[in-house]
Structure 1
Amino acid sequence: MTTDEERSQPSQPAEQSEVFGPTDAGALREIRDLFVEQEPLVTTATLDDPLNPQTLSVALSDGVGDAATARIDIRWSLTGNYAAHYTDDLDRNFRFDCHPKPDAPKRHFHPPPDAPSRPVVPSCITVSEIGLVTRAILQRWRYAYANDTFDGLNDATNPP
């Protein structure tokens, strides 16, 4: 039997829901607003579904190095788990994540150029507040962008 609370939660695959937790729509809206306010290269910041969002996609008018465009996709859960995935038109990727992952730290970094599932390393972002995590992600993106390289992307001291 399904409870009212279970019916009100967004539907997610059981495995993802158990590990990541249900999406925090309010957090995604707060993150969207911070990206738009703080990053001049944001062209759009859209939720995949305005009523039941799962992902915020932030399009950027430029990318790191030779990339002409880029995007950062963000998920945030009610349990404080998050994933921030950078990808660009040269198919380079990295991710800052915070969620349980077997044999890995809860806060971890998937390095460029392809953000593999393994191996991961501890993330330089160790704060947990929505605004601080968002600003740290923006700061690390700006670092890579300003230096035209992914080298040192995860080498900052916390908070970056």
Structure 2
Amino acid sequence: MTDDGDPAHHIQPDEQSEVFGPIDAGALREIRDLFADLEPLVQTASLDDPLNPQTLSVELSDGVGAAATARIDVRWSLTGNYAAHYTDARDRNFRFDCHPKPDAPRRHFHSPPDAPSRPVDPSCISVSETSLVTRAILQRWRYAYTNGTFEGLNDAENPP
């Protein structure tokens, strides 16, 4: 998987629209507002299209460890599927996802540094409500940021 800057390319083609479902614009707006309200390092939190958004991109003024900047791209579907993809200035990536994936749990984690499509691990995020998932993603990112490492990123038990 390569990072060409297009958030849509972070989800493999066979995992996109058929399985992922149509995007929930209201959920993306709620997530945008939560990121802006809860995380002081958010520089911008913007939708790719104000009328028909597909992806929320959250630009952070700092990244984990030596990364000077970072971004979290979020997609959320009307069926409750989601993908939250972290990438930083050092080209390190991880994803917390919830969607059907052959031979993997519905809620799964793509580990750093390159968030490979396979293998994946079960996600430590077991909640499903939009605001709780958003808080959990922020909490896990903040954990990595505060500790300056990705070690233990997916080791929490049912984060907020």
What is the letter of the counterpart of residue 18 of structure 2? Answer: E
**Structure 1 residues 119 and 14, CA gap change in structure 2 (3 angstroms):** closer
Instruction: Tell me the equivalent position of 2:132.
Output: 132
What is the letter of the counterpart of residue 45 of structure 2? Answer: A
Instruction: Tell me the equivalent position of 1:21.
Output: 21
8 Å CA contact 2:139, 2:159 repeated in 1: no
Q: Deviations over 1:67-110 (max 9, x none)?
A: 00000000000000000000000000000000000000000000
What is the letter of the counterpart of residue 131 of structure 2? Answer: G
Larger Rg: 1
Is 1:63 aligned to residue 63 of structure 2? yes
**Structure 1 residues 38 and 102, CA gap change in structure 2 (3 angstroms):** same
**Structure 1 residues 15 and 35, CA gap change in structure 2 (3 angstroms):** closer
SS at 2:95's partner residue?
A: strand
**Structure 1 residues 19 and 64, CA gap change in structure 2 (3 angstroms):** same
Is 1:76 aligned to residue 76 of structure 2? yes
1:17 Cα deviation after fit: 1.7
Give the 4+ runs in structure 1 shifted more than 4 A. Answer: none
Q: Percent identity?
A: 85
1:47 Cα deviation after fit: 0.1
Instruction: Tell me the equivalent position of 2:7.
Output: none
Q: Deviations over 1:31-77 (max 9, x none)?
A: 00000000000000000000000000000000000000000000000
**Structure 1 residues 15 and 84, CA gap change in structure 2 (3 angstroms):** closer
8 Å CA contact 2:73, 2:86 repeated in 1: yes
8 Å CA contact 2:15, 2:101 repeated in 1: no
In structure 2, list runs of 5 or more residues that go unmatched: 1-12
Q: What TM-score, normalized to structure 1?
A: 0.90
Query: Over the residues paired in the alignment, what is the CA RMSD in angstroms?
Result: 1.2
Q: Structure 2 CA distance, aligned partners of 1:19 and 1:149?
A: 32
Instruction: Tell me the equivalent position of 1:90.
Output: 90
SS at 2:16's partner residue?
A: helix
Is 1:43 aligned to residue 56 of structure 2? no
In structure 1, list runs of 5 or more residues that go unmatched: 1-12
Q: Structure 1 CA distance, aligned partners of 2:134 and 2:106?
A: 17
Instruction: Tell me the equivalent position of 1:5.
Output: none
1:14 Cα deviation after fit: 8.6
Instruction: Tell me the equivalent position of 1:152.
Output: 152
**Structure 1 residues 15 and 103, CA gap change in structure 2 (3 angstroms):** closer
Q: What TM-score, normalized to structure 2?
A: 0.90
Q: Structure 2 CA distance, aligned partners of 1:14 and 1:39?
A: 33
Q: Structure 2 CA distance, aligned partners of 1:16 and 1:138?
A: 24
